[in-house]
Each structure stands twice: as structure tokens, then as C-alpha cells.
């Protein structure tokens, strides 16, 4: 089954318009100004859906739909967000039941527009159920991702919506069943030069996971801290949404440009607390300093280098090509400002981009690292075309070899 860039663009655009319509409905009802920050279409391992929700408490509504597309759509607000919304709507909720019905009402209005937009575009009817109220912590608030025959992957449309004045956000997830969605996407593709075999996109995702696992192993080796790869996903979004994939907090990390097929950029980023923690784990003495010193930064540079090598080797093994890269550059800046020049570079030739994201974590200390890759779209497509699916498992980078470099 093949989809093309055009159909990925179209479907992403549909999700964005739906989210915007939903947001407008909410603004009309409550007077709260909100903006759709980012909409992306991601291919994710089923078990990783909703990782970005963390462990926070969410409430929201869920719809089931069937027809040309089948699956679930969910709108979730954080709990604080709910209180403000309901106050704006009915001037405060005295009882739990009222709060629930407020959430349901807002959710219903927001989501009807969302689903209707899809049906209009597809020129087919999509029936949806009445909204049901949901609540839960983190990813548990979401319905189980639909199982799709022999694949572990699901396509997820995600929109993050932020209020203008406050740092409150909510999310819309659309979790269509895999088969109907890919069929519809393939129907809307004209399978010309830019067709992408969907199954290979999955392989690429698995490959990214392996790369991240390698990078995590390298962290463990360097620091003695047991580190695990958490999430990996490949997403598709307009180039102007790419910088929003990263928060605007200050990050420390390394960036490389890689060449070959595909070429592109790879970032290894730590938030400042993580950077300090992990750097100190690599140092022989306790720094006892709250500031991020040059020693911390050079430790991060070294670690970024090792993580990059692990990750890139994972790719190269699967692609059976060498992936060359520049020496890593140390960065310490606002997240969005770090990725912005890279997006601009890639954006000279393409309007949309694939973004490959993964994270790793450890339970021992407060530590999280993000890896983001921004490949050239055309070259990624070619790499996928050349990729033999059965090589996906072969990502064994030899650590000895990495350390000899």
C-alpha cells in the first residue's frame, strides 16, 4: 500500500482545519482565545500513543465513528483547564455532575465540527456516537489504540491547542483504524514519483527505536545510569510547525548535519536539569554548583557525540550505507531557536517535513533526553524505497567500534 506526500499533506491539513474549527467553536462559547499550536500526523507504536500527556490528570470526551473511516476521536483537557472552561461557560460548577456535563457539552460542540470536516472532504458519511465522558491520568485517558491486523503501528493525528494568555493546553487525538485510513489515503494518492510505501515507514520507525536503544545503551555505559528508550515516532507536519515540536525551554545538547541518503540534521537535547544531572554522573567529583558550568557542557558534548554515533550507526546498519556526519556542535539555547535554523534549511526545498522523534529516560535521577532528526524528505523517500523490509532487525551497532572513533 502506498501513500504519497500530497495525501499526507491533505490529511494533515484536514486535521488542522478540524482542530481550528473546534477551537473557534470553543472561543465562541466561552470567550476564551485559543490557538492551534501544532497539528501532526504521526506513525507510532501502539504502546506509545499519548506519551506526551505525561502523568497529568485529564478529562474529556470520546467519540467513536464509523464509515469511510473508523476509530476513535478524543478531546482532552487538563483538570485545571476544565475548571476555567466551565467557569467561562456557566460561571462555575457546583457539582461534579455539572462539571461533567459542561465538559461533555463543550466537547460535543468542538468535536462535531471536527468529524464533519473529514466527512465533507472524503465525500462520504462518517457516523459518530454521542460523546462519552472520560477521565484518567496521562495516556490512560485515551482509548486503546485500534489493533490493525499484523501491524503494531497506528497513525495518530494530534493537535495541541494553547490558550493565548495562559499556559494551559489541550489535545485532540484522532485514532483511526489502520486499514481504513491507509486505504483512504492510498485512494487519495496519485502514486506518482513521491509515493511512499506505508509498511516501510513503519520499518523506519522501528529502526529509529533501535537507534535510540543504542544511544541509551551508550548513555548507560558512559554514566553507569540505567537508561531506557521510551518513544519513537515519525511525524509529518508543515515545515512551519517543525520548531513547535520542541518546547521553548532552554536546552543543552548537540546538533550534527548528516550526509548520505537521507541527509539532514540530528539533535540530541537535554533540559538543563537533566543536563546537569547526567553530566555530574560522568564527573569524578561532585560539582556542588547550581549553574551549568563549562565542565558540564563539555561532558554533554561528549555524551551527545556518543549518543549520536549510536543512533546513526543504528540507521546505517539497516540502510546498509554509511551515514557520515559533521562533528557535533554544542548548543545551549531556547529549544525552538535551536531547531528553527535547521527547519529553515530543510524548508528551502520542501513545504512539509518528516520529523523523527525519540526520548529516553531513567528512573535513577531526573533525566530525560530527546533525539530529533529532520531528514530531507525526498531522500528519505528514496531511502525507504531502497530499504529491504527484512533488514529492520539488524541494527546491532558494535559499541567497541564506536568507542574506537
Partner 1 sequence: MKVYDGQGETESEIKSEQIKVGIAEYDVTKNGAVLTTSGLGSCIGVALYDDTAPVSGLVHVMLPSADDMEDGNSAKFADTGVETLIEELEATGGDRENMVAKIAGGSDMLDFSESGSGIGQRNVEQVKETLEAYDIPIVGEDVGGNHGRSIKLKSSTGDLVVKSANKESTVL
**Which residue ranges make up the site for partner 1 (CB under 8 A)?**
35, 37, 162, 164-165, 239-241, 243-244, 248, 250, 255, 257, 265, 326, 329, 331-345, 347-348, 351
Please report how close the Cβ of residue 27 comes to partner 1 at its closest, in angstroms. 11
Residue placing its CB nearer to partner 1 in the complex, 279 or 331: 331
Residue placing its CB nearer to partner 1 in the complex, 152 or 336: 336
DSSP per-residue string spanning 182-249: HHHHHHT---STTEEEHHHHHHHHHHHHHHHHHHHHHHHHHH----EEEEEEEEEEEGGGGGGGS-SS
Residue placing its CB nearer to partner 1 in the complex, 196 or 266: 266
d(C-alpha 103, C-alpha 54), whole Å: 21
**Nearest partner of 229 among 395, 93, 388, judged by Cα:** 395
Please report how close the Cβ of residue 241 comes to partner 1 at its closest, in angstroms. 8
Q: By CB neighbour count within 10 A (0-12 exposed, 13-18 middle, 19+ buried), where does 84 fall?
A: middle
Please report how close the Cβ of residue 336 comes to partner 1 at its closest, in angstroms. 2
Please report how close the Cβ of residue 262 comes to partner 1 at its closest, in angstroms. 15
58 Cβ partners below 8 Å, 6+ apart?
76, 77, 78, 79, 135, 136, 137, 138, 141
- Between CA 157 and CA 162, with CA 158 as vertex, the angle to 5 degrees is 155
Residue placing its CB nearer to partner 1 in the complex, 239 or 384: 239
Please report how close the Cβ of residue 131 comes to partner 1 at its closest, in angstroms. 29
d(C-alpha 204, C-alpha 356), whole Å: 9
Residue placing its CB nearer to partner 1 in the complex, 160 or 209: 160
Q: By CB neighbour count within 10 A (0-12 exposed, 13-18 middle, 19+ buried), where does 308 fall?
A: buried
Residue placing its CB nearer to partner 1 in the complex, 153 or 244: 244
Please report how close the Cβ of residue 330 comes to partner 1 at its closest, in angstroms. 11
Amino acid at each position: 500500500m502506498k501513500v504519497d506526500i500530497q495525501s499526507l499533506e491533505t490529511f494533515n491539513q484536514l486535521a488542522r482545519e478540524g482542530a481550528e474549527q473546534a477551537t473557534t467553536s470553543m472561543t465562541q462559547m466561552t470567550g476564551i482565545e485559543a490557538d492551534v499550536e501544532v497539528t501532526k500526523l504521526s506513525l507510532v507504536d501502539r504502546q506509545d500513543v499519548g506519551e506526551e500527556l505525561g502523568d497529568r490528570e485529564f478529562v474529556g470526551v470520546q467519540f467513536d465513528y464509523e464509515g469511510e473511516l473508523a476509530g476513535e476521536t478524543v478531546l482532552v483537557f487538563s483538570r485545571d483547564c476544565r475548571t476555567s472552561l466551565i467557569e467561562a461557560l456557566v460561571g462555575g460548577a457546583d457539582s461534579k455532575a455539572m462539571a461533567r456535563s459542561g465538559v461533555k457539552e463543550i466537547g460535543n460542540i468542538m468535536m462535531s465540527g471536527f468529524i464533519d470536516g473529514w466527512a465533507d472532504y472524503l465525500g462520504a458519511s462518517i457516523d459518530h456516537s454521542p460523546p462519552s465522558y472520560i477521565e484518567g491520568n496521562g495516556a490512560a485517558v485515551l482509548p486503546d489504540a485500534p489493533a490493525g491486523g499484523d501491524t503494531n503501528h497506528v497513525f495518530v493525528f494530534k493537535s495541541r491547542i494553547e490558550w493565548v494568555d495562559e499556559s494551559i493546553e489541550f489535545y485532540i487525538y484522532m485514532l483511526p483504524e489502520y486499514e481504513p485510513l491507509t486505504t483512504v489515503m492510498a485512494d487519495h494518492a496519485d502514486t506518482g514519483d513521491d509515493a511512499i510505501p506505508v509498511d516501510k515507514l513503519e520499518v523506519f520507525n522501528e529502526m529509529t527505536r533501535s537507534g535510540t536503544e543504542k544511544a541509551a545503551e551508550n548513555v548507560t555505559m558512559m554514566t553507569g545510569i540505567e537508561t531506557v528508550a521510551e518513544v519513537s515516532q515519525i511525524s509529518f507536519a508543515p515545515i512551519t510547525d517543525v520548531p513547535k515540536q520542541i518546547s521553548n525551554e532552554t536546552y543543552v545538547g548537540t546538533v550534527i548535519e548528516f550526509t548520505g541518503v537521507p541527509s539532514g540534521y540530528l539533535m540530541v537535547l537535554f533540559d538543563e536539569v537533566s543536563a546537569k544531572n547526567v553530566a555530574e554522573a560522568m564527573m569524578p567529583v561532585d560539582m556542588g554548583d547550581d549553574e551549568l558550568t563549562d565542565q558540564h557542557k563539555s561532558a554533554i558534548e561528549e555524551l551527545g557525540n556518543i549518543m549520536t554515533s549510536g543512533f546513526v550507526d543504528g540507521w546505517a546498519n539497516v540502510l546498509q550505507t554509511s551515514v557520515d556526519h559533521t562533528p557535533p556542535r554544542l548548543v545551549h539555547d531556547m529549544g525552538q531557536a535551536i531547531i528553527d535554523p535547521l527547519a529553515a534549511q530543510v524548508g528551502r526545498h520542501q513545504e512539509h517535513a518528516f520529523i523523527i522523534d525519540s526520548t529516553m529516560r531513567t528512573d535513577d535521577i531526573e533525566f530525560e533526553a530527546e533525539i530529533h532528526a529532520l531528514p530531507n524528505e525526498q531522500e528519505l523517500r528514496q531511502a525507504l524505497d531502497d530499504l529491504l523490509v527484512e533488514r529492520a532487525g539488524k541494527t546491532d551497532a558494535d559499541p567497541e567500534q564506536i568507542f574506537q572513533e
